[in-house]
Every structure is written in C-alpha cells, then in structure tokens.
Amino acid sequence: MQLSVNGTDHQLEVDPRMPLLWVLRDLLGYTGVKYGCGIAQCGACTVHIDGEAVRACQVPVGDAWGAVTTIEGLGQPDALHPVQAAWIEHQVAQCGYCQSGQIMQAAALLSETPAPTDADIDDAMSGNLCRCGTYPRIRAAIKTAAARLRDS
Amino acid sequence: MSLAGTIARRTLLIGGVAIAGGVAFGTWRYTTPYANPLLSGLNKGEAALTPYVLITQDGITLITPRADMGQGAYHAQALLLAEELDVDLDQITADPGAPSAAYWNQALSAEAGDFLAPGDGVLNSMARTVADMGVKFMGLQITGGSTTVPDGFDKLRAAGASARETLKRAAAEETGLPVSDLTTRSGAVVLPDGTALPYTQLAARAATLDVVQDVPLRDPSQWRLIGKPTQRIDMVAKSTGTQTYGIDVSIPGMVHATVLLNPAQGGALGSYDTAPAFRIPGVQSVVEITGGLGIVADTTWHTFEGARAIEANWPASSMPATMADHWQALSDSFTSTAQDSRKRDDGDMETALTGEVIEAEYRAPYLAHAPLEPINAIVRVDEDTAEVWTGTQIPRFVQANIERITGIPADRVTVHVQMMGGSFGHRLEDEVVKQATEIARQMKGTPVKLTYAREADMMHDFPRQIAMGRMRGTVKDGHVESYDLGIAMPSVIASQMARQGQTVPGPDSQIVAGAWDQPFAIPHHRVTGYRAPDLAPLSSWRAVGASSNGFFYNAGLDELIHAAGADPLQERLRLCNDAVARRVLEAVADMSGWDGPRPAPGKGRGVALTYSFGVHCAEVVDVTDTADGIRLDRVWVAADVGTVVDPVNFETLVQGGVIFGLGHAMFGEITYENGIAQQDNFDSFPSLRLDQSPEIIVRGLENARTVKGIGEPPVPPAAPALAGAIFAATGTRLRDMPFSRAVTFA
C-alpha cells in the first residue's frame, strides 16, 4: 500500500490493521508522533489526515484516507510553523511528551477557527492530556499563534 | 588507594554529610572525593576541567548529571555552570554524561539525614551495608526530592568558575599576558585589545594545567543568567517533535519487546499457552521473566498484540482482597505499638483535649504516577559488558541491578540516560530495566527495546501511598487552642528501598512529612506518625508523604478555625511563627484580595500553606458552585525558594504542580481487588484537562536563606485549598480524596 507522510510517498508492505501510530513510529521513523494510551484518551499521537486532526492510534493504516502530516511535517526547528513559534515563545513544554499532539491539535483548530474563543479552545484541546499541567501556557500560546496567523 | 581504604573514606564522607547537613564540604573540588569520570575518555587536546565541563575543539559540553523528566533540570544545571563559565546558552550542549559517583547528590544526603531518625538514616544504613553492596551504590547519583538546584547551586557555579579561571591561565600562557589583564565573555578569553580567544582553542593547553581551585563566586549583582528570564535549552526540540526520548531511541539490530505480567501486583508466573501469540505476525519469541513473560517481536504493536493473545493462569497475590481491607489495616494502625514517630508534642495535649473536642478522619488513596511516556528501556547484554538506554533517575542502581542479574560488573555496564516524558517519581524505579535485562540475557548481542503498554504501566506502577489522618482539637476564645493529628500509612521509603536490596531502620519521617514541621504555634500541638503494614508496594510520588499530609494537616486546621469562628487566612497568620512563611501567606492574601469584599453567594475561597522540601508554599483557590458543578476559577500561589534561579521555569513548575495537586485530589484513585489494579488507562484514571484548569497566578519570594527546588512544594497545598473553597461555597466538608466521589466538577 501507499502512504503519503509529510509530502513523501511511502510504499509499505504491512498488515493494514496496524495502527497508523506504529507504522509512523516503528516502520517509518516519525518518532515525533507519540504513544501515550492507545485508546484515544490522551491525544499524544495526534496527526493530520488531509488537514484534520486524528488520533493515529485509532486509525488502522489501511483506513488512512489521505495525506498524513506529522509534527515533523508541520514545521522544523529552522522553519517553524506559527503554532510552534508561539509554543517556544511561551515556553509551554515541561517534559514535552504530549506537545507534538497538542501542537497538531492546535494547528488544526486554528486552520478551522482563526479567532478561537476560550470555549473553542476548551472544546478543541480537552482531549489532549498533559500530565505536567502546561494548560495555562497552551491556552496563551494558542491565542498568540492565532493573532500571528491573522496578521500574516 | 586500596579498595578497603576507598570504601572507608566514602563511608566516612556520606556519614559526615548526613550529620553536617551538607555544608561540610563547601564548594566542589574536582579531585576529591571521586575521580573525575571525564578524564578516562579524553583524546589529546581535550580538556575536562571539572566533572561538569568538557571542552574540545568542536565545542563546549556541560555535563548535567541530574536527570530531566520535564522539570528543566538540564537547563537549570547548564545555566548555573554557564553563569560563572561565561558561555552563552546557545553555545553549549548539555549532556547527562555517564553515571558516576562523582555526581552524588549532596542535597539529597542532607534531606535524608534530616528526614530520618538520628543515626538511622537511609544513608547511614547504606554506609553500613557498603561492604555487602560494594562501592557501586555509593556516590548516590539520584534525581529527586526537588534537590537539583539546591545540590547544584554552589557546586556547579564553582565548577564553572574553576574552569573559567583555568582557561584564563591557559590564555595567559599563550599570550604572555598576566591573568589579571584577561576577561571572559561568550565562551572566549578576551585580551585587553579586544581579541577573543575561544575556549575551544584553549582546551589543549588548559588540559596541561592544574585546575584553579577555590575561585570566589560572583556577587548576585553580577549575575547575567540567574534570576533572569531565559529560554529553556530543550524548548525548540520539544516544540518540533525532534526531542528524542527513551521510547524514541533505535539501535541497529534491535528487536521490540513488551511484558505480560501477573495482573496482581507482585504475583508469580503461572501456567500459560504461548501458541496464540505466534499466530500474530512478527512475534519472534516468548521468554519467561520474573512474574511474567517477555514477548519479542518486530514492532511495538506486534509485541502488544502478542501479549494480548497469550492465555495464562496467574497465581493469586498476597495483597489484601478488598480496599476495605486496605483501609482497615490503616485504621488498625493508630496504636502505640504501631507508633513510628512523634516529632511534635507542644504544650499538654491530653489536658487540652477536654470539653468540646472536634474530631475528623481523612483519607488519601493510592495514585498512579502515569507520566505520559510509558516506561521503556533498551538493553543489550554481551559476553562481559552490557549497554542500556533508558530514562532513569537512578542510573547507578540500574548498573548494580544489571550486575546482579547478569554477573557483569557494574563498571562494565554503560548507561545512556535519556530525556524523560515525565516521571513524578515513576522513574525512581527500574523494573523495566531489570525485565529488559532478563529478556536480553536470553538473546545475547541483540539490543532489546522493552516498551510497556499503558495498561501495564498503570497496573504495575508502584503507587503513591494510601494514607489516613485523624485529628482532634479544641478552640477557645475564637482561636485554635489544640490540634492533635495522627497519620497512618505504610512506609514508602522502606517499600522503595527494599526493591534495591536495602533495609531502612528507624522511623520514616515521610509518614509525617508536610505535617509535623508546619510553621504554626498552636498552644497544644501534636503530630504522630503510625506505620501501617505493607499493603501494595509503594514508591515516591511527587511530594511523597506531604502529598497526602498537606491535605490532612490543612483540612484539620480548617475545621478548627471554622469551629473557632475565625478566618482561615487571618488565623493562619496569627498562629504563624516563621517570618518566611508569614510573608508567603501575606503574599497570597495580597494577590487574591483576601481581605477585600467577600466572595458572592455560590462562590468560595480556600487557603492552605504547606512547608515541604524546605519551601513554604501557600495557595488560595477560588471556585463557583454552578448548575453543572464546582468550577475552578482561579488560583494564587506564593512560594519562597530563597533564590529564583529561572523565573520562567519557576512559574511553569508551580502552575504544573498546582494542576497536578488539584487534578489528583479531584479525580485520581487506584484501587485494588485481589492485588489487581482496577484502573488501567486514562479513562479510568482521569486527570485535570485544559477545560477544567483554572487561571494560576504565581509569585516567587526570596526571603529564605538557602536555595531550594520547586518541583514538589506546590503539590501539597492544592488539595486542601480546593477543599476549603468548596466548603466555603457549598458548606460541604470534603475529607476523602478524590473529591469527585462527593461533588461534581464543571
């Protein structure tokens, strides 16, 4: 089967039932995508499929319906996505393990809702668990990123 | 020096520190007491000026031996070194380095000496058993107890200063100029004419010189980095998916593995049928390990599928059958024979407890650590060496345990400590390394990457202690007159150290931590610890004993203050007998407008203060009783750590600690049936989420005389401040955690 990840087409011989998460991590080396719970309770594995935020642990790779974008494809250290830049500016991360998923979720939110209210942020982000408790900074960084994206 | 001589010297050293409270050795000397571990691996032209600074022609590496589980330890250590070394944070690489006795934790030694009974501390015990354990357990390189900054504050600055002055001496030799004409800036020695000689070019000559010792540390007024906002060195990597955690490491030739353990904690391996596992494609082998099986496959997913497929009959656990049995064991421990300590006994409690006595009982449940990165380790066992890649707070225990399992000497076990996706104490345990070693020794030469499924991580966690508090007290003339608090729990420290082959004699003051030493002068005041029997195996959980006791102590005090008709904050201030604590209380009163208009009907406000890990931390919580339940509106926090080394990270850690304390008090609970944890993932073990998190306003104070860490102190006051706020809003007094049993949260 074919899988497009961050603009690169991969030819895979794999059990189509294997979750996209493990295909990305173990077979293709996209380790920015994180395993946290395996049951869509934490959001650490959040990636985009055709721009929509999905939990990669819940998508059998055979069902992946479009192009996949991971945190590595959203932006890189020398070419940051505005959401990543806001995350750095607000120094959101502590352990950082959930932040790939948080950032992917936030980027999807802002592409749909350029000026999110607090309630919009609550709705979009509450499926993403942070055990370190970085929520106040996540909220602030989303607002900063939204302002930057609107200005640009 | 002979081995015996080495042991004797180290034994003396550890004992000496425990007695002297960590001041006996002053600033760090690189030649004593342990050899500089960097010297053995140097190439020509490289200089290792202290165990903390490595300079080559290619760059400057600061060795940051305290592990980073998200608390920013690498950054804090690098910052302290860079302050005196005169390098910029973007010029350096931080590396945890190899485990070494040279990186022993002096602050933890001081804490340990304080928290256990005189002469019976864990370190004294370890010193006594050193002949049995060998030298490998000495030089306690442990990350924990909020000690990274206190331990490193002088030691790392001194190391940076020694390195700087030695580099200046090297530059003086190169140029023929006197050292007094030279300055340093941004990783270079600067000559009077402005020419900059980079440290990297001076490394070869510096390596031939004696290190300059006893360099005076700079006055705080000269600090460039300490106390200033800086960007944490891991922030870009952690915002771009490029930070490598243990779970991301890949070694050529590696196989994946997971474990299937007896679901009952500590239960043995029984009968099993592996045939269904081999019907999963990619499953290569299934091997026996202590208490279960290791499943080896080509991908993590196939190890999980293989483990799910195996059918097994598991022997029963020795743990009590029901939670009622666990609680009964605690309830039965409030006896004179189970008394562990009575570190506070002011006034005359028995006489004071007459007339109208207020009594209450409090409970705190088992809690999982549940860092978001499940525990994992890669181990390769070769003929006479072994190599490990894992996120751990105890790298030298890791080496010792691999020696115990394989017979390979600990000094031939290479440990590559990885960045950790959280810990909260979880990675003070090394079961995952032991199990990976048990699998790897059955397939020598092959790196085995063991990854726990979330379910295994949570069910086989060694949880936070279960605990019970019982208070009695009286009031008089509108004030608290007497307060007697008893706390029963099993010994966390004894349980934890037993897994490392250590016995801990004497009282465990974690049983009364966050309670016996609170800064309140109540006329009659007593705090007694009772040691319950071992129930579930336990481990240190963020704030350890204080995580439960901060709730008990403040909640009991609140009941007395209410009975006295006094104000929770004003009465605490009236009773407070510590100047630093008073300023902390005054700060949260000021920040929250406590003395202003009272909250509107349906709103409530609570306050708590806990002294833990040497830090006074006070919190005020505001809630609203809405149609959907209790809503957390706002939290104000003030804490005094002596010196706020990194104000950004200080605020972040305080906010995170408050959310950790609140979330577990609201929702968290692990329960056991026949030794089997009934919660196995984040659906059954909920946490605070973004939509329920309050605004958190933080103020750092610097009145305390010594520098302290802030990782744990914000946790204990969160639960009682919330309980106080809910009482104020609703009249419901919450005495059992989690609070969600009694109230709904919006």
Write down the pLDDT at residue B640.
98
> Residue B346 pLDDT > 90, yes or no?
yes
Q: Determine the average pLDDT of the residues in B157-184.
A: 94
Report the candidate in B661, B624, B646, B656 with the shortest Cα–Cα distance to residue B744: B624
What burial class does residue B43 get, using C-beta atoms within 10 Å of its C-beta: 0-12 exposed, 13-18 middle, 19+ buried? Answer: exposed
Write down the pLDDT at residue B206.
84
* pLDDT cut 70: percent of chain B above it: 88
- Check if B243 contacts A (Cβ < 8 Å): yes
Report the candidate in B36, B52, B56 with the shortest Cα–Cα distance to residue B206: B56
Per-residue pLDDT tens for B439-449?
999 999 999 99
Write down the pLDDT at residue B16.
22
CB contact under 8 A, A94 and B70: yes
Write down the pLDDT at residue B48.
60
Q: Which residue in the set B299, B422, B681 is minimally distant from A26, CB to CB?
A: B299
Write down the pLDDT at residue B35.
58
Write down the pLDDT at residue A89.
98
- b/e sequence A16-55, b meaning 16+ C-beta within 10 Å: eebbbbbbbbbbbebbbbbbbbbebbbbbbbbbbeeebbb
Kindly give the parts of chain A with pLDDT less than 50: none
Write down the pLDDT at residue B207.
78
Write down the pLDDT at residue B418.
95
Strands (E) across B222-264 are located at: 255-261
> Residue B553 pLDDT > 90, yes or no?
yes
- Check if B668 contacts A (Cβ < 8 Å): no
- b/e sequence B233-243, b meaning 16+ C-beta within 10 Å: bbbbbbbbbbb
* pTM for the model: 0.92
Sign of the four-CA dihedral B224, B227, B229, B233:
positive
Report domain extents, chain A.
2-73, 75-151
Rounded CA-CA distance B408/B136 in Å is 13
Per-residue pLDDT tens for B252-282?
999 999 999 999 999 999 999 999 999 999 9
Structure tokens at B347: 């006034």
B415 or B45, higher pLDDT:
B415
If DSSP codes are grouped into helix, strand and coil, which group holds residue B346? strand
Ranking A138-152, B92-106, B562-576 by mean pLDDT, the lowest is B92-106
Per-residue pLDDT tens for B84-98?
999 999 998 888 877
B127 or A34, higher pLDDT:
A34
B109 — pLDDT class (breaks 50, 70, 90):
low
| Chain A positions in Cβ-Cβ contact with residue B371 (cut-off 8 Å) | 95, 97, 131
Rounded CA-CA distance B164/B398 in Å is 34
Per-residue pLDDT tens for B75-86?
999 999 999 999
Rounded CA-CA distance B457/B22 in Å is 36
Report the residue of B372, B542, B654 to disrupt the A interface, i.e. the one with the largest count of A CBs within 10 Å.
Answer: B372
> Residue B18 pLDDT > 70, yes or no?
no
Q: How far is CA B214 from the centre of its chain?
A: 31
Average pLDDT, chain A: 97
Strands (E) across B59-145 are located at: 59-63, 92-95
Q: Determine the average pLDDT of the residues in B691-698.
A: 98
Rounded CA-CA distance B227/B231 in Å is 12
Which residue type, as a one-letter code, is found at position B393?
Q
> Residue B105 pLDDT > 80, yes or no?
no
Report the candidate in B466, B513, B472, B443 with the shortest Cα–Cα distance to residue B668: B466
> Residue B286 pLDDT > 60, yes or no?
yes
The alpha-carbon gap from B68 to the nearest alpha carbon of chain A, in Å, equals: 8
Rounded CA-CA distance B619/B319 in Å is 37
Write down the pLDDT at residue B39.
61
Ordered domains of chain B (ranges, CATH): 34-105+141-239 (3.30.365.10), 246-316+375-451 (3.30.365.10), 323-368+462-741 (3.30.365.10)
CB contacts under 8 A, A 66-125 vs B, are 70-72, 75-77, 80, 84, 87-88, 91-100, 103, 121-123, 125
Report the residue of B68, B89, B233, B240 to disrupt the A interface, i.e. the one with the largest count of A CBs within 10 Å.
Answer: B240
CB contact under 8 A, A77 and B242: yes
| Chain B positions in Cβ-Cβ contact with residue A123 (cut-off 8 Å) | 691
Check: complex ipTM more than 0.95: yes
- Check if B69 contacts A (Cβ < 8 Å): yes
| Chain B positions in Cβ-Cβ contact with residue A33 (cut-off 8 Å) | 241
Q: Determine the average pLDDT of the residues in B480-497.
A: 96
What burial class does residue B517 get, using C-beta atoms within 10 Å of its C-beta: 0-12 exposed, 13-18 middle, 19+ buried? Answer: middle
B8 — pLDDT class (breaks 50, 70, 90):
very low
Average pLDDT, chain B: 89
CB contact under 8 A, B238 and A80: no
If DSSP codes are grouped into helix, strand and coil, which group holds residue B528? strand
CB contact under 8 A, B239 and A87: yes
SS (H, E, C) A37-79: CCCCCCCCCEEEECCEEEEHHHCEHHHCCCCEECHHHHCECCE
Report the residue of A28, A131, A135 to disrupt the B interface, i.e. the one with the largest count of B CBs within 10 Å.
Answer: A131
The alpha-carbon gap from A19 to the nearest alpha carbon of chain B, in Å, equals: 8
The yes or no reply on domain A2-73 and CATH 3.40.50.20 is no
Report the candidate in B433, B335, B426 with the shortest Cα–Cα distance to residue B381: B433
Q: Please give the torsion angle defined by the CA atoms of residues A125, A127, A133 and A135, in that order, rounded to the nearest 10 degrees.
A: 10
Backbone φ/ψ region at B633: left (φ over 0), alpha (ψ -120 to 50), beta = alpha
Write down the pLDDT at residue B139.
53
Rounded CA-CA distance B381/B435 in Å is 12
B144 — pLDDT class (breaks 50, 70, 90):
confident
Identify the closest residue of chain A to B698 by CA–CA distance: A136
Phi first, then psi: give them for residue B475, nearest 5 degrees.
Answer: -125, 160
> Residue B460 pLDDT > 80, yes or no?
yes
CB neighbours of residue B9 within 10 Å: 14
Report the residue of A132, A142, A143 to disrupt the B interface, i.e. the one with the largest count of B CBs within 10 Å.
Answer: A132
> Residue B134 pLDDT > 50, yes or no?
no
Distances (CA, A) of B51 to B92, B272, B365: 16, 50, 42
Report the candidate in B618, B503, B487 with the shortest Cα–Cα distance to residue B545: B487
Which residue type, as a one-letter code, is found at position A85?
A
If DSSP codes are grouped into helix, strand and coil, which group holds residue B359? strand
Per-residue pLDDT tens for B178-230?
999 999 999 999 999 999 999 989 888 887 888 888 899 999 999 999 999 99
> Residue B367 pLDDT > 60, yes or no?
yes
Write down the pLDDT at residue B6.
28
Lay out the sheet containing B358-364: strands in order across: B339-346, B524-531, B479-489, B467-476, B358-364
Work out how many CB contacts closer than 8 A connect A with B: 180
Q: Determine the average pLDDT of the residues in B150-161.
A: 89
Write down the pLDDT at residue B114.
32
Distances (CA, A) of A64 to A2, A52, A71: 10, 12, 17
Cross-strand pairs, A72: none
Phi first, then psi: give them for residue B250, nearest 5 degrees.
Answer: -130, 130
CB contact under 8 A, A130 and B69: no
Write down the pLDDT at residue B132.
29
Q: Which residue in the set A25, A71, A126 is minimally distant from B689, CB to CB?
A: A126
Q: Determine the average pLDDT of the residues in B585-611.
A: 95
The DSSP result for B363-431, as a single string, is EE-BB----SS--EEEEEE-SS-EEEEE--S-HHHHHHHHHHHH---GGGEEEEE-B-S--TTGGG--H
* pLDDT cut 70: percent of chain A above it: 100
Write down the pLDDT at residue B44.
59
The dotted CATH code for A75-151 is 1.10.150.120
Strands (E) across B490-614 are located at: 524-531, 603-612
Per-residue pLDDT tens for A88-105?
999 999 999 999 999 999
Q: Are the C-beta atoms of residues B327 and B443 closer than 8 Å to each other?
A: no
CB contact under 8 A, B256 and A26: yes
Write down the pLDDT at residue B129.
35
